[in-house]
Structure 1
Amino acid sequence: MATYLITGGAGFIGSHLSYALLQQGHRVINVDVFTDLYDYRAKIRNVLAATGCKSVFDFRYKEADLRRLSELVRSADYRLEVADIRDREALARICAQERIEAVVHLAALPGVRASGLQPLLFQEVNVDGTLQILETMRDHGIGKWVCASSSSVYGNSSKAPFNESAPVDAPISVYAATKKSCELLGYTYHHLYGIDTVMLRFFTVFGERQRPDLAIHKFVRLMEQDEPIPFFGDGETMRDYTYIGDIIDGTLRALNYVEGRSGVYEIINLGGSAPITLRRMVELLEEKLGRKAVLDRLPKQPGDVERTDADIAKAEKLLGYAPKTSFESGLERFIAWYKGGQVQ
């Protein structure tokens, strides 16, 4: 049994990863600040789902709820720490109390459009926060980590599919620039202090427990309520949607990879390798929900890329990664989760 620290472990990807590691018999330390980006109750439900806790949770107010949650789910295998990754003292306290084999760093402020509105905050959380993680790892002798990057670092690359060797020196959003910065910091700490690193460039992750502000979740909710959905541009932008189960499989493989080797620094794409247009995504939602979408047509937003398209040859070679869930099948699973009460 290994002990892993997961930052952002109460989020969409983090809660699925926590569950997977617990199922494998490992111990998870979840560091999450429960940001106000969206309703904190969604993250509480994520933690309950990840830990298999069946307790009925009657919500009151945030601070009391988080204290209760931490006590409720704490076990020999799972520990929830409500803390900000920028809080060096909190990180040091946690690492001093635990023997952590590796870190999976998922915590970040997300959102291309939001990053343009709050660039300083994105820099503080995504870049400074990552630096605090790396410094804490160095201080406490933690020499292995997997860090979440993003397909957004490719910007409007004209060469598709996107290969990890392509230059990524022209990010078109603050969010993308922060993720590129994290990759650079990861390399620096690998070079200077020997921290073995895998940077995973995630491509548009979707599936059960997806954040409510993301397109598929938002579109399903609005269509079920017969409300217009925001439709940016002409509908021809493309995204390489990747089902959460495939992302978790790839992340676990990356964790095994970095733990089993020394002198490692790798950047690896994790994608679904089958991009579809915004227009086609809406058509499939209409088909699966049996409803006609009302489109609120809006201009294309600054920072939005034209397409994402993952070259996954490196992930296949190094990790044995092979996405198994098609977009259509993943969409059906998400809709079943949404209509089933959104608790599993």
Structure 2
Amino acid sequence: MFDVVTGGAGFIGSHLVDTLVAQGNEVLVIDSLCAGRRETIARHIDDYKVRLVQMDLLEDGWQEHLEGADRMFHLAADPDVRQSAVNPFPTMQNNIMATYRILEAMRLHNIPELVFTSTSTVYGDAAVIPTPENYTPLEPISVYGASKLACEALISSYCHSFGMKTWIFRFANIIGARSGHGVITDFIRKLNENPAELEILGDGKQTKSYLEVHECIAAMLYATGKAKGTVNTFNIGSEDWIDVKSIAEIVTEEMHLPTTKFRFTGGERGWVGDVPKMQLSVEKIKGLRWKPQIGSRESVRLAVRDLLKER
């Protein structure tokens, strides 16, 4: 199997590459390294198990490396929900336009399969929680969520028009080693700067589902091997949730900071586009006989420990 992974030097992408290499697959990584880090996959490159093409998907030249590819994993994206409300243009370019260019390259090189990483934010402020894949209306409240929903529509149209197959995975909050953004990394950074006080955006009651990254990769590859429709859409997350204040408590516990004071900025949303309550239904993927082995609290604690080891 010849797999191409865009964003393969990033957080989730590098863990996916680890697994694909362990399966004995030929792997090509396309990554600009603006957010990803070469060192996350360096051992595979040095062992000649992974080829790295360091290019931006908005440029030309990477397409010539795709000949003979069996499957495309498209993970490269601008993942910053908060920043998308400040400057939407990079999100439009790096998410929607880059995905269009991936689809065109697949069409021209006859690559039959695409695995795409989407997000829970396509659901917006869902009225049904846990939220199933067939929930409507899909009304994102962030530019980031809107860009991912637009990508899903593009992918669906290409698959139906040009005989491709896709697996679209809508993630809850995926956390763990190598993560470069998110609430846990923000808390660790803030506490390193000032261990006496921790600023928490919002009221700390935002409650969401979290899943450790290795569980996420296992779910993706399992569903890819089982579901065989033209467009296969699955939620991936845990079967419970945890609030932001509890995450702060776990972080301070693991950093051995029992006297840290919490300061809340107030409001039910931590930032523009923040969804205060989110839990995805995983009943559909459970129908394939996969289920998460750990919940949100254990995922958070494992992620905190792994991230602290990286300091």
TM exceeding 0.5: yes
Gaps of 5+ in 1: 52-72
2:85 is paired with a residue whose SS is helix
What count of residue pairs does the alignment treat as equivalent?
306
Taking the aligned partners of 1:77 and 1:48, their CA distance within structure 2 comes to 10
Question: Quick check: 1:7–1:106 contact (8 Å CA) kept in 2?
Answer: yes
Over 3 Å counting, the alpha-carbon distance change for 1:308 and 1:282 in structure 2 is same
Pick aligned residue for 1:86 from 55, 58, 66: 58
**Alignment-derived partner of residue 137 in structure 1:** 106
- For residues 48-74 of structure 1, the C-alpha deviation after alignment (integer angstroms, 9 at most, x for no partner) is 36x2xxxxxxxxxxxxxxxxxxxxx25
Between the aligned residues of both structures, percent identity stands at 28
Per the TM alignment, residue 327 of structure 1 is displaced from its structure 2 partner at its CA by 3.1
The reply on whether 1:95 has 2:69 as its aligned counterpart is no
The reply on whether 1:290 has 2:290 as its aligned counterpart is no
**Alignment-derived partner of residue 11 in structure 2:** 12
2:302 is paired with a residue whose SS is helix
Per the TM alignment, residue 302 of structure 1 is displaced from its structure 2 partner at its CA by 1.4
2:66 is paired with a residue whose SS is helix
Question: Quick check: 2:80–2:144 contact (8 Å CA) kept in 1?
Answer: yes
Per the TM alignment, residue 225 of structure 1 is displaced from its structure 2 partner at its CA by 4.3
Matches for 1:158-177 after TM superposition, within 5 Å: 158-177=127-146
Taking the aligned partners of 1:277 and 1:182, their CA distance within structure 2 comes to 29
Taking the aligned partners of 1:286 and 1:172, their CA distance within structure 2 comes to 31
Gaps of 5+ in 2: none
Taking the aligned partners of 2:125 and 2:249, their CA distance within structure 1 comes to 25
Taking the aligned partners of 1:218 and 1:29, their CA distance within structure 2 comes to 31
Taking the aligned partners of 2:250 and 2:305, their CA distance within structure 1 comes to 14
**Alignment-derived partner of residue 186 in structure 2:** 218
Taking the aligned partners of 1:338 and 1:124, their CA distance within structure 2 comes to 30
Indicate the RMSD between aligned Cα atoms, in angstroms: 1.9
The reply on whether 1:272 has 2:242 as its aligned counterpart is no
Pick aligned residue for 1:307 from 244, 257, 277: 277
- For residues 85-139 of structure 1, the C-alpha deviation after alignment (integer angstroms, 9 at most, x for no partner) is 222x32321113xx21100110000121111112122111100100000000000
Matches for 1:1-344 after TM superposition, within 5 Å: 2-35=1-34, 43-48=37-42, 51=44, 73=45, 75-87=47-59, 89-96=60-67, 99-211=68-180, 213-227=181-195, 228-257=197-226, 261=228, 263-291=229-257, 292-299=259-266, 300=269, 301-318=271-288, 320-341=289-310
Taking the aligned partners of 2:308 and 2:173, their CA distance within structure 1 comes to 22
Question: Quick check: 1:151–1:202 contact (8 Å CA) kept in 2?
Answer: yes
Per the TM alignment, residue 141 of structure 1 is displaced from its structure 2 partner at its CA by 0.4
Taking the aligned partners of 1:4 and 1:243, their CA distance within structure 2 comes to 23
**Alignment-derived partner of residue 59 in structure 1:** none
Question: Quick check: 1:27–1:76 contact (8 Å CA) kept in 2?
Answer: no
Q: Which moved more, 1:12-21 or 1:272-281?
A: 272-281
Per the TM alignment, residue 75 of structure 1 is displaced from its structure 2 partner at its CA by 4.9
1:117 is paired with a residue whose SS is coil
Over 3 Å counting, the alpha-carbon distance change for 1:293 and 1:93 in structure 2 is farther
Taking the aligned partners of 1:34 and 1:81, their CA distance within structure 2 comes to 10
Q: What amino acid does structure 2 have at the position aligned with 1:215?
A: V
Question: Quick check: 1:145–1:255 contact (8 Å CA) kept in 2?
Answer: no
Q: What amino acid does structure 2 have at the position aligned with 1:314?
A: K
Over 3 Å counting, the alpha-carbon distance change for 1:48 and 1:330 in structure 2 is farther
Question: Quick check: 2:176–2:307 contact (8 Å CA) kept in 1?
Answer: no
Taking the aligned partners of 1:179 and 1:168, their CA distance within structure 2 comes to 15
- TM-score by length of structure 2 reads 0.92
Q: Which moved more, 1:198-207 or 1:73-82?
A: 73-82
Taking the aligned partners of 1:24 and 1:126, their CA distance within structure 2 comes to 29
**Alignment-derived partner of residue 60 in structure 1:** none
